[in-house]
Copies of this chain bind each other. A is one copy, B any other.
Amino acid sequence: MQSVQRLVLLGTGLISGSFALALKRARLVKHVVGVGRNIENLERALELGVIDEFSTDAATAVIGADLVLLGTPVGQMGRLMQQIAPNLSPDCVVTDGGSTKQDVCALFCEYLPKQLATCIPGHPIAGSDLSGASAAQFGLYEGRRVVLTPLSQNNAAALEWVRQLWRACGAEVFEMDAAQHDGIFSAVSHAPHLLSFAYMNAVLDRYNADQCLDFAASGFRDFTRIAGSHPDMWRDIALANRDSVLVDLKANAAQLNHLIGLIETCDANALTEYIQRASLARIEWGKPKKGSI
């Protein structure tokens, strides 16, 4: 398969850095340019061999690139697309690692209208509460899933190339409609993150918050791990996938009110059934199966 000559990472962090490392190991990339605003982070990425060169200027960095990966929070992608638009070679493939896809599709259409044949929206499912280039790792995508949400304008060869590159990173590649993607990930990723933030704020608002946190144990630890996630990234996701997220948060508010009602009325049987439904489904989900991490 065709290897990448000049890979430009717009945003040099966990997602983009791990992609570069995996391609390097597969000997499928010749030169990697990391773009970012945080010089310390870029120097660290260079030192770790994640990138071969860095730049703080996206527009000049993409000159001569055959593959560009947008690896920033979604809120920064529009501006970056605008900056690089004049300098992209017509056959340069542009892809992204954003957690929401309808908005990224819309940004591609708005800012790179002449490039749509080779703009391939993608979402590698390898979230982590870690961030920054120093979190990048070989093998992050091993056994993980990547969802591509192709545009109708996409060129089949460009799409196939992106598919093959992700497979070379060890990922299983899926394709679906961007709206379908956003609904699914709102339900199983965006909503839990937001619920976890809300829960942490509820604890912090208690008069005895410090004492509560002092006695918090393993249940709390796991339930709130995702509450330690990056504020800018998750603000962007909440706003970018606003419609789906609101549907799920409202469904959760309704569930919570229903549960409050069962406890208020001491309806022991209904409460048992309610918990049992959740518990059985979670136990079933946790059984080993293909493709889940």
Contact = CB atoms under 8 A, between A and B. Distances in A.
Contacts of A127: 217-219
A4 interface: no
A271 interface: yes
A81 to B, nearest CB: 20
A82 interface: no
A231 interface: yes
A226 B249 CA distance: 20
Contacts of A183: 208
Interface stretch (A10-18, A57-65, A282-290): A282-290
B235 A279 contact: no
Given A201-B278, A224-B282, A184 B208 contact: yes
Contacts of A264: 242, 246
B222 A226 contact: yes
A234 B275 contact: yes
Interface residues of A, number: 92
A211 B147 CA distance: 13
A263 B239 contact: yes
A232 B272 contact: yes
Contacts of A145: 215, 217
A293 interface: yes
Q: Copies of this chain, how many?
A: 2
B282 A266 contact: no
Interface in A200-256: 200-206, 208, 211-232, 234-235, 238-239, 242, 245-246, 248-256
A278 to B, nearest CB: 4
A97 interface: no
Contacts of A242: 263-264, 266
A29 to B, nearest CB: 26
Interface of A: 125-128, 144-145, 147, 183-185, 187-189, 191-206, 208, 211-232, 234-235, 238-239, 242, 245-246, 248-260, 263-264, 266, 268, 271-272, 274-279, 281-283, 285-286, 291-293
28 contacts: A147-B215, A183-B208, A184-B212, A188-B203, A188-B215, A188-B219, A195-B256, A196-B223, A198-B258, A199-B252, A201-B277, A202-B251, A202-B255, A218-B293, A219-B225, A219-B226, A221-B293, A227-B281, A228-B279, A231-B275, A232-B272, A235-B275, A238-B263, A238-B271, A245-B263, A249-B259, A252-B256, A253-B260
